[in-house]
Structure 1
């Protein structure tokens, strides 16, 4: 049986998303990473912890960068 990487990624995000998310810690970590100038890493961390898609994570990280919530 052939399992594609896309399937595995969706499955991994579903598992991550089923765990409780500490948004305060996520916000703090994303803010710290953005302070270091690594926007791509901040988006990746947001995606890993929330299971969000790339566009959702990018938008959330941009809101955090502007001083709003994620």
Structure 2
């Protein structure tokens, strides 16, 4: 499996939270960041896809009828 390196700039607060979790779990910050991203990504992709489908279904005529501005 190929891998890619990503450099992220995060807030001090987020880094401190990630560091605390890493200490509690005795894992590296990098490992935890990858695990968190991997766990959330499928759900985010699905939600974005569903939103795009809903937005694509909106037509000017349906918007006007929904708000009572029949054309």
* TM-score normalized by the length of structure 2: 0.30
Structure showing greater Rg:
2
* TM-score normalized by the length of structure 1: 0.30
